[in-house]
Amino acid sequence: MSMFCFQCEQTAGGKGCVKTGVCGKKPEVSNTQDELTCALIGLARAAGGKCPDRETAELMIKSLFATVTNVNFDEGRIRELIDKTEAKKNELGGAENFNMWDLWNGDVDSVSLRSTLLLGIRGMSAYAYHAFVLGNEDDDVTNWFFKGMKTIGEDHSAEEWLELLMEFGRINLKCMALLDEANTSAYGHPVPTRVTTNIEKGPFIVVSGHDLHDLKMLLEQTEGKGINIYTHGEMLPAHAYPELKKYSHLKGNFGTAWQNQQKEFDGVPGAFLFTTNCLMPPKASYADRVFTTAVVGYPGLRHIPEGENGIKDFTPVIEKALELGGYPEDMIFTGINGGSELTTGFARNTVLSVADTVIEAVKSGAIRHFFLVGGCDGAKPGRNYYTEFVKQAPKDTVILTLACGKYRFNDLDLGTIGGLPRIMDMGQCNDAYSAIQVALALAKAFDCTVNELPLTLVLSWYEQKAVCILLTLLSLGIKNIYLGPSLPAFLSSNVLKILVDQFNIKPITTPEQDLKEILG
């Protein structure tokens, strides 16, 4: 059976996965996800490009999220979503689904532009989902899922597609603001927090993914049970939220970035819970202790479903952790550079609270330049660029970071400037919203545009959330972004040329050359 998928950075040969997914996705699953996508376009058509009700919104958002890279490998669960989508579509009066062949075939530039919008919408669905489970919704955002999916099933000129991409970028900013509001109102504003990479003896559970709501429920259910909780991957910033860090059994962070999990989980006597993407096919040696929840799925892994009022019962995860018992002694682990302490919590509230110090440091020349070195991590050796870039950045520069790309360098101690650490972790990928707010505030303080600030964005991309963030940055008119480790396969040469001409997007080269070009 053949398939086609080119939605992530590790796509086969830099062109597309056609036999099986490099991520482990089987052709059956890929084709079922395409069928779901085409049914969702049918649903959006039946709904007239506008969300009809909350139940349909949830179905649209969950279904899109299930097609994001490393989220759901379970064909049966995808098929259930197709069945629900068809039923809902028929309730709304019915409409024709999009033709599956047309999804990835046709005029190369139209396919490229349509794919860019579709993949951005898939990315945004993850953020909307996390806000949704906390009860935060926004009509403009919800409606745009339906408008966008209906639009994807139509023909447009290149100019119209580009206008749609910019409109989508602005909507995604709203969606990221919605999630920021959901997280900070539920758990407080992040505060700078040191996080150990060591694991204490005794039973423990490692929580991976982005969903703070799941982590909170698990913390409540494990309190007083002699089980410690550790974050993994994109869950690291959870340590900085006051309403989460108050739990004394939230101990530290396990492992490094997501792509190392098959090596790092092997033989570990603890349970693992995946709340969102970044799940890799588990090895048989540890599959018995991996649990999924929410939209995540993998055949054979135990799934924790949502119960009444969204409450989940994590008893099977807790029992597995107790059965495994954890390490008999405290264990010392390090990040990839040998450090055993990470710092997080430099989100917008914290950074803006010291804005005067930052502005003064820039004016006095103590801080010469800011780099936002952020985005996803991945397996390619070329991603070493980001470690080297940060190591080589001059001592009078500050590194802002977010998302899991930071595991390349977040255990480095780069010292401080004027009392501020030289590496400031702003949070998960969604916290690009924080970075944008800080950049806009600095631009206001210096009475200039963001493009005129001593700030350069050096981004690493892997999956679809990076696509929606990139479109938001472009919709804000942000130029001169360095992008790597390779350019998306779904950008045709003509579309890439347009982006380069309009926004001066630059592929990364070497740390030495790029630093020289940026700093002069």
Catalog residues that contact ligand SF4 under the rule CB under 6 A. 5-8, 10-11, 17, 21-23, 25, 30, 69
CA distances in angstroms from 310 to 128, 306, 307, listed in the order given: 16, 5, 5
Q: Quick one: 6 or 371, whose CB is closer to ligand SF4?
A: 6
Q: Buried b / exposed e across 356-368, counting CB within 10 Å, b at 16+?
A: ebbeebbeeeebb
Could you tell me the smallest distance in angstroms from the CB atom of residue 361 to ligand SF4? 41
Could you tell me the smallest distance in angstroms from the CB atom of residue 171 to ligand SF4? 24
Q: How far apart are CA 113 and CA 94, in angstroms?
A: 27
Burial of 416 (0-12, 13-18, 19+ CB in 10 A): exposed
Q: Quick one: 202 or 405, whose CB is closer to ligand SF4?
A: 405
Could you tell me the smallest distance in angstroms from the CB atom of residue 224 to ligand SF4? 41
Sequence-ordered strand ranges (E) for 287-368: 290-293, 302-304, 341-344
Q: How far apart are CA 458 and CA 281, in angstroms?
A: 30
Q: Quick one: 191 or 379, whose CB is closer to ligand SF4?
A: 379
Burial of 341 (0-12, 13-18, 19+ CB in 10 A): middle
Could you tell me the smallest distance in angstroms from the CB atom of residue 70 to ligand SF4? 7
Q: How far apart are CA 14 and CA 6, in angstroms?
A: 8
Could you tell me the smallest distance in angstroms from the CB atom of residue 468 to ligand SF4? 16
Q: Quick one: 375 or 511, whose CB is closer to ligand SF4?
A: 375
Could you tell me the smallest distance in angstroms from the CB atom of residue 118 to ligand SF4? 13
The Cβ-side half-sphere exposure at 76, using a 13 Å CA radius, reads 6
Could you tell me the smallest distance in angstroms from the CB atom of residue 271 to ligand SF4? 26
Print the SS3 string covering 464-493: HHHHHHHHHHHHCCCCCCEEECCCCCCCCH
Q: Quick one: 13 or 325, whose CB is closer to ligand SF4?
A: 13
Query: Identity (one letter) of the amino acid at 366?
Result: A
Q: Quick one: 22 or 166, whose CB is closer to ligand SF4?
A: 22
Could you tell me the smallest distance in angstroms from the CB atom of residue 48 to ligand SF4? 31
CB 341 within 8 A of CB 194: yes
Could you tell me the smallest distance in angstroms from the CB atom of residue 312 to ligand SF4? 27
Q: Quick one: 7 or 437, whose CB is closer to ligand SF4?
A: 7
Q: How far apart are CA 125 and CA 154, in angstroms?
A: 21
Among the listed residues 213, 214, 261, 212, the one whose alpha carbon sits nearest the alpha carbon of residue 233: 261
Q: How far apart are CA 429 and CA 407, in angstroms?
A: 13
Give the CB-nearest residue to ligand SF4. Answer: 21
* Helix ranges, 400-480 (H): 432-445, 464-475
* Helix ranges, 191-237 (H): 212-222
Could you tell me the smallest distance in angstroms from the CB atom of residue 495 to ligand SF4? 18
Q: Quick one: 283 or 380, whose CB is closer to ligand SF4?
A: 380
Q: Quick one: 71 or 450, whose CB is closer to ligand SF4?
A: 71
Q: Quick one: 28 or 154, whose CB is closer to ligand SF4?
A: 28
Q: How far apart are CA 288 and CA 291, in angstroms?
A: 8
- Tell me the two tokens of residue 117: 């919008």
Q: Quick one: 49 or 488, whose CB is closer to ligand SF4?
A: 488
Q: Quick one: 33 or 193, whose CB is closer to ligand SF4?
A: 33
Q: How far apart are CA 471 and CA 479, in angstroms?
A: 12
Could you tell me the smallest distance in angstroms from the CB atom of residue 278 to ligand SF4? 12
Q: How far apart are CA 461 and CA 508, in angstroms?
A: 12
Q: Which residues pair with 271 in a beta bridge?
A: 205
Burial of 497 (0-12, 13-18, 19+ CB in 10 A): exposed
Could you tell me the smallest distance in angstroms from the CB atom of residue 17 to ligand SF4? 3
- Tell me the two tokens of residue 388: 């080297």
